[in-house]
Amino acid sequence: MSPEAAALAPALVSLRGLSKSYAGVRALKGVDLDLRRGEIHALCGENGAGKSTLIQMLGGAARPDSGTIEVHGQAVRFASPAAALARGIAVIHQELALVDELTVAENLALGDEPRFGPWIRRRAMVQSARRKLDELGFAIAPRARLGSLPIGARQQVEIARALRRDVQVLVLDEPTAALSRAEAERLFEVLRDLRTRGIAVLYVSHHLDEVFALADRITVLRDGSKVGSWPASETTLSEVVAHMVGEAVDVRDRPARRATGDARLKVSGLSGGSLRGLDLEVAPGEVVGLTGLAGAGHEELSSILFGAMRPTAGEVVWDGEPFRPKHPAEAARRGVAMVPADRRGLGLIPSQGVLENLTLASYADLARRGWLRRRAQKAMAREWCARFEVASSGLSQKVLTLSGGNQQKVLLARWAARNPELFILNEPTRGIDVKTREAIHRWIDGLAEAGRCVLLITSDAQEMARLADRCVVLRGGKVARVLEPPAITEHAVVAAVVEG
């Protein structure tokens, strides 16, 4: 279906006056939205604007306090995600809901396996998976274990799983956050194909270049309210940013800084996992950026430095002494902090409050004779929430209900409170709004100015150009290229990653 025809088509799904509050904070305020057949509709806004809340209600994970959801003009109330899926609405979250230990075919059929009596018909399951994958143009083996696939392929499996049903509306939340450029381009091709099949796509992203490359219509939320909706062809990127922010955001240029003294971190011939003899140094006051395609070795390096993985060869020297932490607690005691890319799965405890999550790394300092000093714990949490401007209803609010930007602030504050000497920051602004992103960038500038060592792992070329004093490009577990200012530009970083 063409974008012109989609604009004239009746709405498949209409949201009317949706409102929702959490712990006294109004997350969504009377929002209207129409999703039409054969249209890619982008939903934009800063973190905390209400996007996640809207997705939760549309997908059946939460119920609105007021307002209605209409499917084909009929008001519905979803008691669960399964109820929304039964009405043709599928949501693919940033954190994929798949089982790494199962095969691709098993994931596609999960909960709906073909059976003969009590037995699963595995051949039929594999054949069905192959037909769906071929239909969508996904070159994935049905018998492959999901955990062995790159993140882009796993996302394709989740899309294929959703489309096994009679899905009419596909919602994608920050779908390119963990993808390489090539994987993202393949995703865009898939979404354009789904548009021609008449499926309505709600595309939620902070990456406005993607939005303008894909979307037929753009809706902006701010502070829980709808600012407006426009055909993508009738607005501009700068106008959308202005609608999102509601104020000018002062984006600072790269600060002039110089590393001081000899390298404190020295990595020599490091191997393990994807790493193949990696050499790397980081000096005080230096931000060393690390990038490359998926599987290039960044994850293994951060895991080894933080004691979560043992190297098979090579040496790490920290402050002139051999450094081989047996576990993360030992690395933390030696002055190392690590903020993982998967903040929900590896960084935060979603079921716990801001208080517990922010002070988690400081329990030993807050304890006396084996007892946690609650007054000191609360004082620490209040101090660091104020420093990082964490927006919450209080220290008891579960981090699961915070916006992505505020979740990240809690995680950063946890480690900043320990005053470490080496910060390993893995995708520190992934899925973060413009304003919070700039605040985090300035915080990283401050770390360098204070003489800390910063290892910045990022797939965001713009972020690399803004922050890195050196950009180290990995390929096949080794250093492929090293860029230094003024050669660290967005274009140069992308070219170095793609070309090696």
Q: What is the pLDDT of residues 257-305, one digit of tens each?
A: 556 678 999 999 999 988 999 999 999 999 999 998 777 888 899 999 9
Q: Supply the pLDDT for residue 483.
A: 93
Q: What is the pLDDT of residues 54-84, one digit of tens each?
A: 999 999 999 999 999 999 999 999 999 999 9
Identify the burial level of 499 via C-beta atoms within 10 angstroms of its C-beta, where 0-12 means exposed, 13-18 middle and 19 or more buried.
Answer: exposed
Q: Supply the pLDDT for residue 229.
A: 97
First to last CA, the chain: 39
Q: Read out DSSP for 98-130?
A: --TTSBHHHHHHTT---EETTEE-HHHHHHHHH
Q: What is the mean pLDDT of residues 472-483?
A: 91
**Given the structure tokens 């500038």, which residue do they identify?**
445
| 265-499, CATH topology level | Rossmann fold (3.40.50)
Hey, which residues does 42 pair with through a beta bridge? 203, 218
3-245 and 265-499 in the same fold: yes
Please determine, for residue 251, whether its predicted confidence score (pLDDT) is greater than 80: no
- Contact predicate 15/58, CB 8 Å: yes
* Mean pLDDT, the chain, whole residue set: 89
Of the candidates 198, 200, 218, which has an alpha carbon nearest to the alpha carbon of residue 209? 218
Q: Read out DSSP for 143-156?
A: TSBGGGS-HHHHHH
Please determine, for residue 248, whether its predicted confidence score (pLDDT) is greater than 70: no
CATH homologous superfamily for the domain 3-245:
P-loop containing nucleotide triphosphate hydrolases (3.40.50.300)
- H-state helical runs in 137-205: 151-163, 181-196
Q: Supply the pLDDT for residue 130.
A: 94
Please determine, for residue 20, whether its predicted confidence score (pLDDT) is greater than 70: yes
Identity (one letter) of the amino acid at 451?
A: G
How far is residue 203's CA from residue 143's CA, in Å, rounded to a whole number?
Answer: 30
**29-38, 42-51, 194-203, 420-429: range with lowest mean pLDDT:** 42-51
Q: Supply the pLDDT for residue 500.
A: 45
Q: Where are the domains of the chain?
A: 3-245, 265-499
Structure tokens at 42: 């982008």
DSSP-derived 3-state class of residue 27: strand
Hey, which residues does 66 pair with through a beta bridge? 19
pTM: 0.59
